[in-house]
Amino acid sequence: TLYGVQINPDPFGLVVYRQREGTVLVNTTVAPLLFAEQFLQISTSLPSRFISGLGEHLTPLVLDTAWTRVTLWNRDMAPTPQVNLYGSHPFYLAMEDGGSAHGVFLLNSNAMDVLLQPSPALTWRSTGGILDFYVFLGPDPKSLPSRLPGFPFMPPYWGLGFHLCRWGYSSTDITRQVVANMSAARFPLDVQWNDLDYADAKRDFTYNKQGFRDYPAMVRGFHRRGLRYILILDPGISSSGPPGTYRPFDEGLRRGVFIRNATGQPLIGKVWPGPTAFPDFTNPETHEWWHEMVRDFHEQVPFDGLWIVSALPAAPGPCPAAGLQHPRKAAPPCRQHPSPSALQPQEPFAFSPAAQATMRSSLRLRYSLLPFLYTLFHRAHSAGETVARPLFLEFPGDPNTWAVDRQLLWGGGLLITPVLEAGKTQVSGYFPAGTWYSLAGGGARRCWGALGGQWILLPAPLDTINVHVRAGHILPLQEPALSTAESRKKGMALLVALTAEGIARGDLFWDDGDSWQSFERGDYTELLFLASHGAVLSQLLRASAHLDGVLLEKGLCQAAALRPPQGGRTPPDPSFSPQVLRVPVSLPMWEPFVIAWS
């Protein structure tokens, strides 16, 4: 048994602990249980002050346990520090001595406060429901994120490319010109979006016959270029038209799909199209009605995705910025989120030549990494692994990583250290024990190594994003292009980051990049890459035709051994130039291969 439970019947309390180590995970005997009609309270001790979660709030990764109150109650509010926002997630992850971790989830949707205390301890206060707790034992923190929600869906490959959207593209001519300008400026673009400009009087499932008279033809033209198209839908249905003039409302009214008020009539609010009825998605009939409306509109406009916004129980009032202390203060309605700068052109081609060069370089780096990123999403979909993760998930035994929230990892092998403050040309990053190869400038120029973790001040000019590959990993890369439809036809490369022992491992998942449930149907190719003893080989774990015609055109092998420690410690400057071997090849990716070097 991994855990034990002790129950104290009077006064009631329970203790959940690890059977082997004796670590107490939950201890509700620290304070009385209160259970009344609209007030439930229960407290527990915590094994450490490292607690993360209890979203959605704009907070550091590690929550402050110095008498901090966290409110869980959804509301439609722009991100503001220390207040409750759109989502409520009554789940926390707590680290323990030695790097073990556990999670606790309270299955309760009532409004609640969670009070964090410095002892350390935590108190749940709910306005109703029951106290239905789930304790996730870990102990590996990497296993916890998937235990609660399950595995995510597999995104299409093109979904990982560059998307462009803003309010103000008021016609098909303007939208087409934006796409043309992106191509002329040599910026990659995979998905063009439109905000509500396309709609007739801002009503869902319509398009205006003035600026968007050739709307379907525009979307089909994008498809011929290899682009995808997404449009916005606010699930609020205009209720102001005469009967028989707007099918979504007429049909919804007939089928009883709208939220009702106390009199049994549809609850009418006011959103973008004016008076608005709100679909009740707890009603199964609403699902069928919504599906029919989407299907019928898709037959007119062949979009590739929907941008569902405002799908929460909230509606803007007539005085959105007013409070009791400022009764006459109100803000003009404006869909731009970063206003007023949002009223200015924001497309990449609208910036200075120097800024464009920096953005172009960053996008090329991202597109070159897409085979690796797509493989990470496959692991998330098939095994519940995280794609982007904080450092402590990968290095739980290093307490220095527990509070790092200005860096992130893609999988376990790619460390990203962004600059998050304007005007900075240097950035401090934490490098856990091991060797890390820099990808700054698009190629390996320097590597960092430490016998133990170390903070390092990195140069970060405007044209550089600090990205480092962890020794022991093999990353599949691909020549970038102006869309994923084109880049998927390009040659691939393997970036082999060897450990001091000369070994590395990686994999590649590849399907058609678009079909639903290709993994479940077995319609995919999966490759395993192994490097050791002066060679790298591929093993074909599963074959399909999707990788046919794609060649491996380059092998980039990096090797660097740690310099001898000085007195058992990492030297003050742990950087050194790696040994880099570039191997031009032309090998079919769909067949096993071996590349050897001496």
Q: What is the pLDDT of residues 162-208, one digit of tens each?
A: 999 999 999 999 999 999 999 999 999 999 999 999 999 999 999 99
Calculate what percentage of the chain has a pLDDT beyond 90. Answer: 78
Enumerate residues 6+ apart whose C-beta is below 8 A from 164: 178, 182, 189, 191, 192, 193, 347
pLDDT at 322: 41
pLDDT at 580: 76
Are 141 and 59 part of one and the same domain?
yes
In a domain, residue 42? The reply is yes
Are 142 and 262 part of one and the same domain?
no
> Can you give the residue range of the structural domain that contains 226?
157-317+344-351
Would you tell me the crossing angle of helices 215-224 and 172-184 to the nearest 10 degrees?
20
The answer to whether 166 touches 346, Cβ cutoff 8 Å, is yes
Are 256 and 392 part of one and the same domain?
no
pLDDT at 345: 87
Sheet holding 473-478, edge to edge: 579-588, 551-559, 492-497, 473-478, 504-510, 525-532, 535-542, 594-596
For β-strands 191-194 and 228-233, DSSP reports them as: parallel
Confidence of residue 567 (pLDDT cuts 50, 70, 90): very low
Q: What are the pLDDT digits (tens) for 393-416?
A: 999 999 999 999 999 999 999 999
Which of 33, 34, 68, 37 minimizes the C-alpha distance to 54?
68
Confidence of residue 222 (pLDDT cuts 50, 70, 90): very high
In a domain, residue 118? The reply is yes
pLDDT mean across residues, the chain: 89
Which of 269, 268, 285 minimizes the C-alpha distance to 317?
269
pLDDT at 188: 98
For residue 485, give the DSSP letter.
Answer: H
Q: What are the pLDDT digits (tens) for 360-399?
A: 999 999 999 999 999 999 999 999 999 999 999 999 999 9
Among the candidates 121, 147, 173, a domain finishes at 147
Are 464 and 592 part of one and the same domain?
yes
Are 126 and 222 part of one and the same domain?
no
Which of 368, 367, 404 minimizes the C-alpha distance to 389?
404
pLDDT at 338: 43
Residue 356 CA to residue 346 CA, distance in Å, equals: 12
Which of 456, 364, 341, 468 minimizes the C-alpha distance to 413?
468
Which of 468, 401, 457, 390 minimizes the C-alpha distance to 432?
401
pLDDT at 573: 52
pLDDT at 76: 82
pLDDT at 443: 45
Among the candidates 293, 325, 351, a domain finishes at 351
The CATH number for 14's domain is 2.60.40.1760
Confidence of residue 442 (pLDDT cuts 50, 70, 90): very low
Are 408 and 538 part of one and the same domain?
yes
Are 161 and 123 part of one and the same domain?
no
CA angle 165, 166, 169 (to 5 degrees): 100
Mean predicted confidence (pLDDT) in 121-130: 97
In a domain, residue 546? The reply is yes
Are 140 and 163 part of one and the same domain?
no
Q: Which range among 8-12, 154-158, 488-492 shows the weakest confidence by mean pLDDT?
A: 8-12
Confidence of residue 577 (pLDDT cuts 50, 70, 90): low
pLDDT at 212: 98
The CATH number for 542's domain is 2.60.40.1180
Which residue shows structure tokens 């496959």?
A: 378
Enumerate residues 6+ apart whose C-beta is below 8 A from 16: 3, 4, 5, 24, 25, 26, 27, 135
Beta bridge partners of 64: none
Q: What are phi and psi of 455, to 5 degrees?
A: -80, 135
pLDDT at 452 over 80: no
pLDDT at 444: 45
pLDDT at 157: 98
Confidence of residue 324 (pLDDT cuts 50, 70, 90): very low
In a domain, residue 331? The reply is no
Enumerate residues 6+ apart whose C-beta is below 8 A from 209: 200
Are 294 and 442 part of one and the same domain?
no
Length of the chain: 598
pLDDT at 568 over 60: no
Beta bridge partners of 192: 164, 229
Instruction: Return the C-alpha torsion angle 386, 156, 300, 274, nearest 10.
Output: 20
Question: In total, how many domains does the chain have?
Answer: 3
In a domain, residue 322? The reply is no
Confidence of residue 576 (pLDDT cuts 50, 70, 90): low
pLDDT at 120 over 90: yes
Beta bridge partners of 58: 81
The answer to whether 524 touches 379, Cβ cutoff 8 Å, is no
Among the candidates 147, 173, 200, a domain finishes at 147
Kind and range of the H or E run holding 374: helix 370-383
Q: Sign of torsion, CA 278 283 288 294?
A: positive
pLDDT at 300 over 60: yes
pLDDT at 334 over 60: no
pLDDT at 579: 72
Calculate what percentage of the chain has a pLDDT beyond 70. Answer: 89
Are 437 and 533 part of one and the same domain?
yes
pLDDT at 325 over 70: no
Instruction: Return the C-alpha torsion angle 245, 246, 247, 250, nearest 10.
Output: -90
In a domain, residue 112? The reply is yes
pTM as predicted = 0.91
DSSP 309-333: -S-SS----S-TT-BTTBTT--PPP
The CATH number for 174's domain is 3.20.20.80
Instruction: Name the 3-class secondary structure at 128.
Output: coil
In a domain, residue 359? The reply is no
In a domain, residue 164? The reply is yes
Residue 472 CA to residue 469 CA, distance in Å, equals: 9
Mean predicted confidence (pLDDT) in 246-250: 98
pLDDT at 574: 52
Q: Could you tell me the end-to-end alpha-carbon distance of the chain, in angstroms, rounded to an integer? A: 51
Confidence of residue 585 (pLDDT cuts 50, 70, 90): confident
Mean predicted confidence (pLDDT) in 563-580: 52
Confidence of residue 450 (pLDDT cuts 50, 70, 90): low
Mean predicted confidence (pLDDT) in 285-308: 97
pLDDT at 318 over 60: no
Confidence of residue 86 (pLDDT cuts 50, 70, 90): confident
Sheet holding 434-438, edge to edge: 388-389, 408-410, 414-417, 466-470, 434-438, 447-450, 575-576
Are 113 and 230 part of one and the same domain?
no
Are 226 and 310 part of one and the same domain?
yes
pLDDT at 453 over 60: yes
- Residue 55 CA, chain-centre distance (Å), reads 15
